[in-house]
Amino acid sequence: MPRPLIIDCDPGQDDAVALLLAMANPAAFDLLGVTVVAGNVPLSLTAHNACVIRELAGRADLPVFAGCPRPMLVSPRSAAHIHGEGGLEGADLPVPIQPLDPRHAVVWLIETLRTAKQSVTLATLGPLTNLATALVMAPDIAGKIERLVMMGGTIGAGNVTPVAEFNVYADPHAAAVVFGAGLDLTMIGLDVTHQAPATPARIERIAAKGTKAALAVAGLLRFYSARYAAAGRGDLAGAPLHDPCVIAYLLAPGLFAGHQMHVEVDVSDPIDLGRTRCDRAPRDGHKVNSMVMERVDAEGYFTLIAEALARLP
């Protein structure tokens, strides 16, 4: 039976590929809706971009909800230097016809979880503001969340500061709420996603599938990789394909490996703000609160994505 799934995102080229990967697997996922948060670019753009991807996949039936327009406490950050001013540059994309659902994402999330007949899997691909706000407003929803798989955090090096990853750094207080909520949480951080660069060969493999979705993704990834190189990460073989790792993990967990850890988000020290302190041997009374992924079979991952895009329009 397809598992009920809600994706929260901030599209973003990599978010877009993750959404397409999920939509290409209807036998695996009953995708209840997509909630959007401010992150890579402002909310008005991330919400628009999610509707563009829905249109590209031919899924006008899928509701998209705009959520929180800014982090809980810190000032909004942008990653437009990587994703482009519009947040989804690099391809010729359709103009969305179906409008956003008028309900606020957080209100919809709470109502949907409370009324769900079975627990729902959550996949988060951006800052955790929407989910954290929902958990603060309605703590009871934690019991209706089957599991949370999130792209965010890092065991080692950061990508926004030397120690912090963008999704956590963009709203560290929201991340601290989520890591402290007692959820069945799987963290897929930079240690994994940097093992899966969108190399030119992998992008061409995707383009060769020839569908509108595959050709669009190839263009998005070429732009995304060029921006990574321009931002000083030319040392990477291509832009790390962060967000689709979450969906790939739900589809094929055998492609990944990790360990249970205690993860704590630093919200105090200005130098370490947004750092995810990952401890495999919890101490000082700490308990395991996450499964933290450490490795991915990158070739298997990109094969999964290419084959999925071949199934889309």
Q: Are 17 and 247 in contact (CB under 8 A)?
A: no
CB of 191 or CB of 243, closer to Ca ion:
243
The binder of 225, among ligand RIB, Ca ion, none, by C-beta within 5 to 8 A per type, is none
DSSP 255: G
CB of 36 or CB of 203, closer to ligand RIB:
36
Q: Are 39 and 79 in contact (CB under 8 A)?
A: yes
Q: Are 279 and 272 in contact (CB under 8 A)?
A: no
Residues near ligand RIB (CB under 6 A) are 10, 12, 14-15, 39-40, 79, 125-126, 151, 159, 165-167, 242-243
Can you tell me which of 45, 88, 125, 214 binds Ca ion, judged by CB under 5 A? 125
Q: Which residues are identified as catalytic?
A: 242
Kindly indicate which of the ranges 41-49, 100-108, 122-130, 227-235 contains the residues binding Ca ion, using the contact rule CB under 5 A.
122-130
Min dist. Cβ of residue 102 to ligand RIB (A): 25
The binder of 165, among Ca ion, ligand RIB, none, by C-beta within 5 to 8 A per type, is ligand RIB
131 touches Ca ion (CB under 5 A):
no
126 touches Ca ion (CB under 5 A):
yes
* CA neighbours closer than 13 Å in the CB half-sphere of residue 165: 29
CA 76 vs CA 86, 127, 129, 169, 268: distances in Å: 16, 10, 11, 10, 18
Min dist. Cβ of residue 252 to ligand RIB (A): 20
Contacts for 232 with CB less than 8 Å, ≥ 6 apart:
none
CB of 29 or CB of 169, closer to ligand RIB:
169
Q: Which helix (H) or strand (E) holds 198?
A: strand 197-198
Smallest CA-to-CA distance from 194 within 82, 271, 293 is with 293
Min dist. Cβ of residue 11 to ligand RIB (A): 8
Q: Are 14 and 246 in contact (CB under 8 A)?
A: no
Can you tell me which of 8, 15, 165, 171 binds Ca ion, judged by CB under 5 A? 15
What is the C-alpha to C-alpha distance for residues 87 and 299, in angstroms, rounded to an integer?
27
What is the C-alpha to C-alpha distance for residues 291 and 284, in angstroms, rounded to an integer?
19
Min dist. Cβ of residue 22 to ligand RIB (A): 15
Min dist. Cβ of residue 39 to ligand RIB (A): 5
CB of 165 or CB of 243, closer to Ca ion:
243
* 300: amino acid identity, one letter: G
The binder of 166, among ligand RIB, Ca ion, none, by C-beta within 5 to 8 A per type, is ligand RIB
The binder of 8, among Ca ion, ligand RIB, none, by C-beta within 5 to 8 A per type, is none
CB of 130 or CB of 167, closer to ligand RIB:
167
Q: Are 141 and 114 in contact (CB under 8 A)?
A: yes
CA 42 vs CA 37, 46, 80, 112, 212: distances in Å: 8, 6, 9, 25, 27
- Local structure of 23: helix, strand or coil: helix
Residues that bind Ca ion (CB under 5 A): 10, 12, 15, 125-126, 243
